[in-house]
Structures are given as structure tokens and as C-alpha cells.
Structure 1
Amino acid sequence: MSVEMLYEKDVTTNYLDGKTIAFIGYGAQGHAQANNLRDSGYDVIIGVRPGKSFDAAKRDGFEVYSVAEATKQADHVQVLTPDENQAEIYKAEIAPNLKPGASLGFSHGFNVYYGEIVPPKDSDVIMMAPKGPGNLCRRTYKEGFGVPALYGYWQDASGHAEDKSKEFAKGNGAARAGLLKTTFKEETDEDLFGEQNVLMGGVTALIETGFNVLTEAGYSPQLAYFEVEHEMKLICDQIYEGGFVKMYRDCSNTSEYGSYVQGPKVIGPESKKAMEQGLKAIQDGSFAKEFMADYHDGFKKLYAERARVENSPLQKIGDELRAKMLFVNDADKFSTPES
């Protein structure tokens, strides 16, 4: 089912004008969205716990409060803390202090969709999910553009929840690039599926397996790194710019032919079946239960896997080579700080 792309000219209502918008969290997305909304003329305050984010928001000129106090003042509360502790913060500090009829906003449907957060019946519950990281949202906004975003709602108490979600996206600069309507279920299912099976889990497993196959066969780990990890960015850039057609056009006939022959063997029926099982675990909530159980257990599995990645031969070889590539290190100078 296709959806219509909306742009700035299509967003004409003003239900958020004159309202106090509290951002709960001032990390990557919180920093970007709060600054973008303020620059678009909205009344923005920040609610965070003491620490680096609190200090950063102060330096950026915001009025900064505790989560509870910011919630008390707000007509709209945008919740942008990490998925794993969002429900705890909501139940302890947001829910008891939410104004009657105040709206709630999210940039990912995880906690509402899986029932970790149950909003009051008199609140509009909306979504504005940028399709890009916070630093890119902020940078492109300042350049006069933006990144596309998804909009939608979970609960429409006022009759204007969808309008609010579009207005919020427009204030973030996303309507300059394009808005697509979604639901909390659709956004959560697709976002988790993409991360786990393609963008992160799939890509990293593919790279690491390719590296292991080459090095175990006796090939140089340095050359293997360049072949399976370094060049991945170059191929992805071509796909981003013009799809598979541009990528194949810019590569050799040999590589194109070989990809048609070998690609379906590597990502074949077994891989598809694993993806389908992964999607089912997202849809039935079993992945969310597993993730939250690991969080409540001190993230033992997450931290063990993180340590494995940090100490893997691929990471160590890559670190050594990247340290000698000035163009990789210089790229950091052009990124916007996340908080």
C-alpha cells in the first residue's frame, strides 16, 4: 500500500502555536529537534536529569528543568529518552505531572506499541520519526532543508492529533524533504526489522563473515578489511545516490555479473526465513520482552556482545588502518555534535 508524500504547503494547521513544548531528553534527537523547533518559532523548554545533557541544554540557551517540572509546564511533552528507560521515566516523572489534555509525542513507537507506556485517555499521542540521525536533522535544518520524517498518531483525544504530528514534523524541517503517514505499529515493526535484519544486524554479520572467510583462507586481514568493510561505504553511497542501477553502472561488468550469480546464494531462502522469523518476534512482542529482560538484568547480553565487537580482529585491524587514513579522521570535523 503506497502513501502520499506531503510537503510544507500541505501542512496548514497551527494547533501547536503558542503552546509550551517540553523535550524530555537532550541527546542526539532531543538536541536536534529542540533546536529546530525553537528556530521555527515554538516555545521550547527542556526536561532532563542533572548531567552532561542538562549542562549542554543550558549552554544552548534553553530553560532547563527536572523532568517533572518541565512536564508540569508543558502543553506538549516530547519523550526522547532511550527505549529501555523511557517507561520508568514516564511512570515516575511524567505521568504524575502531565497537565490534563496535554499531548504526548514520540519519535519511535516502541514503548507505546508494546504497552510499556499507557497514556491517559485525554491526551493526543503523536509520532514524528525523522528518517535520519539527530546530527543530520540539525545540520540539514540549518542548511535550509531537512530529512524526511514519518508522522502519525496512536490516540486522537482532541480530533487534531494527526494535524499536530504534521505540524511537529514541519517545525523540525522535515516537511521540506517530505512526510509519510504511518502508525505506531507500522513504524515500530519496520524500524526494528530494518535495524536487525538489514541496516545493522544484517550488514555487520555479512561484513564480519566475509572478513572471517577471507582471513581463515589465508588472505591478509588488512586487504580483507578494505574489501569487505571499507568499500561497503562506497557501494552504499552509490546506492543512496541512484539505487542499484547507479551502483551497477559505476562498477565493472565482472562485479555486476558476479553479484547476480552469488548474491542470491548468500542471501537465499534460509536468510529470508530468518528474516521472517525475526519479523514475527517483533510483531508478537517476544523481541521487546527479551530486550527489556536484558535491560532489567543489567544488559549482560548487550554488554557482552559489545565487548566482543570491540575486541574482534576486524575492529582492531580497522582501527589501525583508519588511524592512518586522514580523510576518515577529518570527516568528524564536519559532523554536528549530538548533544
Structure 2
Amino acid sequence: MPAKKWLDKEVSLDPIKKQTIAVIGYGIQGRAQASNMKDSGLNVIVGLRKGGKTWKQAEAEGHKVMEVADAAKAADIIHILIPDMEQEETYKRDIAKHVTAGKALSFSHGAAIHWKWIVPPKDVDVIMVAPKGPGQRVRELYQDGFGIPSLVAVHQDHTGKAWDRVLAMAKGIGSTRPGVLKTDFKEEVETDWFGEQVDLCGGTHALVMNAFETLVEAGYQPEVAYFECLHELKLITDLVQKYGLTGMYNRVSETARYGGLTRGPRVVDKDAKNKMKQVLNEIQSGEFAEEWVSKYKKEGKHSFARYMKDIENHQIEKVGKDLRKMMWPDQET
């Protein structure tokens, strides 16, 4: 059965026009979503730690900024956009006492609710609008008159108006322009983490690095290997995003088409798929969530350090830094 979809003309901002939305956090998503909703004519306040580095930035960009507890108290919809691992503590310390009857608790990722790091009271709506793209593109495409598609979900509908609320928020950030899809918190969390781990982030970086190493170890110039294994990847993924897998193959050379179709499945084979299933099982069972929470409690943001260092020290990053400086001299590395 196909997923339920909504387009821009089917959704109205009216259900939340007179409500106050507190965006908690002004990071990559918080900045984009708060700005988009404000530009859509919604009443937005931004909740931050006093003296935090984004306080002045949010004010300079035209937002009313308040401390987190004050923003949560003033809001009808509390939209939590701080990192997953900070949500539970911030909720208990600053937000929970202000989650009163009839309000909505909102997220852009369902982990805190699905894994019960946050357990909301029964007399509030619990909703989610999850853009399927990074915050920078959420803002850029909105300003271009379009938007990033989103997944929308209702975990708890106390008021009977939760769907009206979440769809209006999706419209406010521009997501109903390309379209939004109905999901639930469980599906969003498990598929989001799976994609990040085996394909979008983890799978891509591992595939690229192994391909690069294979060429360099065979005696090819690292600079040429960089272009073939990393730089051109964007050109292909752009085609895939716009035209699908078949459309991509129809737009590359016949040699690339035949070689890709016959050799690609040999590299990413059934053994790789079985490992993907293992990763999915770890996500579904809660094993990954427990591991991540435990790791973060012990090491905080240093949890990534060893893994990031391995990548930073890899030859592909050193070669790439020089080549990117050659191609885009004014770009930050």
C-alpha cells in the first residue's frame, strides 16, 4: 500500500497561525526551520542556553530568543531540535514542567520518543516533522521557492488536532511544496539510522576509501584516484536523485553502464546485504541505541574522536584538501 502523501495545496497554516512555536536549539536544523517558519508568517521563538554561541546569531537573524525553560513555558508547540543525546537531560531540566495540557511536543527525529528517553504526559500532542535533507538545504530550497520533502508522524493525538498541527509545521518549513509522507516514530528512527549507517554516511565513506586505496595500491596517482572515487560521486548521486537508478544509467556512457551493471553487484554482494541485515537487527533490537547512549555518557562528543582521526589522517583526505583548494580557492576546507 503506497504511503499517504500531502501536497502544498492540501495543507493550511491556519491551525497554528495563532500559536507560538518554540524552536529549541539553533543548530543546523533549528536555524533553518525556525527561519523558514518565521518567514512563512508563523509566531516563532527560539529557546537557547543563555550565553550560548548561537544566541547572538539567532537575534541577529531576527528571532526572539529566550532561555529554554522560558521558551517552553511561552509556547503552544515545543519543537525540540537539539542533538539526540542532549534531549533527555534538557527535557527533564528545562522543558518537562512546561509541557502542560493541550500543548504539542514536536521533534524532527523520533529517537527520544521511540526509545523512551522522553516520556511525555498523556494530555499533550506528540508530533514529528522530519526533513529528508540537511538544514542548509532546507533553508536554501525554501528561499528558492521550493523545499525539502519531509516525513510527518503523530505519536499521540490528545487534542484531535495533532495532524493539523504537524502538517501546518511542514508547510511552514516548505516541505509540502515537494510533498510530505506519513510515517510513524518507529519507522522513521529505524530507517533513518539504517540509511545513515549502511549507505548515506557509513557505507559511502567506507566504499570510497576502499576504492581509493585499491587504485593507489595498484600504482595509480592519488590525485587521479581521488577524482575517480570521490569527486565524481556527486555527479552520479545528483543523477540518481533526479532521475532514479535507471535514469542515471541512461545518462552515463555505455561502457559505464555495462561495467556498473555487471561489476557493481559483485562488489556490494549478498554478503554485504547480510551484514546490512545484521546492522538493521542491531537498530531494531535497541542494541545500537544502548551502545550509543553508553558511549556518549562516558565520552560525550569525544565519542567520535578516534574514528574521525582515522579518516582525517587518511591519504584521500590529504589529497582531497589540496585538490579542493585548487578547484574552489575561496571555500573553507
- The Cα shift of 1:296 comes to 0.7
Secondary structure of 1:77's match?
Answer: strand
Aligned partners of 2:13 and 2:171 also within 8 Å: no
Which of residues 307, 310, 314 in structure 1 aligns to 2:309?
307
Matched AA of 2:63: F
Aligned mates of 2:325, 2:224 — CA distance in 1: 16
Q: Which residue of 2 aligns with 1:2?
A: 2
Aligned partners of 1:154 and 1:184 also within 8 Å: yes
Q: Which residue of 1 aligns with 2:319?
A: 317
- The Cα shift of 1:245 comes to 2.6
Deviation beyond 4 Å, 4+ runs, structure 1: 329-332
Aligned mates of 1:68, 1:301 — CA distance in 2: 28
Aligned pairs (5 A) from 1:27-38: 27-38=27-38
- The Cα shift of 1:331 comes to 7.0
Matched AA of 1:205: A
Aligned partners of 1:23 and 1:77 also within 8 Å: yes
Aligned pairs (5 A) from 1:200-239: 200-239=201-240
Once the two structures are superposed, residues 265-321 of structure 1 have per-residue CA deviations (whole angstroms, 9 ceiling, x without a partner) of 111111100111111111111111111111111145421101111111111111111
Aligned partners of 1:149 and 1:174 also within 8 Å: yes
- The Cα shift of 1:64 comes to 0.9
Give the alignment's TM-score, normalised by structure 1: 0.93
- The Cα shift of 1:188 comes to 0.7
Aligned pairs (5 A) from 1:281-296: 281-296=282-297
Q: Which residue of 2 aligns with 1:63?
A: 64
Aligned mates of 2:26, 2:291 — CA distance in 1: 27
Q: Which residue of 1 aligns with 2:259?
A: 258
Aligned mates of 1:301, 1:108 — CA distance in 2: 21
Q: Pick which of 173-182 and 12-21 moved more.
A: 12-21
Aligned partners of 1:294 and 1:302 also within 8 Å: no
Correspondence 1:24 to 2:51: no
Q: Which residue of 2 aligns with 1:187?
A: 188
- The Cα shift of 1:59 comes to 0.7
Q: When the two structures are aligned, how many residues end up with a matched partner?
A: 330
- The Cα shift of 1:24 comes to 0.3
Aligned mates of 2:4, 2:15 — CA distance in 1: 22
Matched AA of 1:249: N
Aligned partners of 2:100 and 2:123 also within 8 Å: no
Aligned mates of 1:217, 1:172 — CA distance in 2: 49
Aligned mates of 1:13, 1:71 — CA distance in 2: 21
Secondary structure of 1:245's match?
Answer: helix
Aligned partners of 1:74 and 1:99 also within 8 Å: no
Q: Which stretches in structure 1 are left out of the alignment for 5+ residues?
A: 333-339
User: Structure 2 vs 1, CA of residues 297 and 97 (structure 1 numbering), >3 Å: closer, same or farther?
Assistant: same
Q: Pick which of 7-16 and 256-265 moved more.
A: 7-16
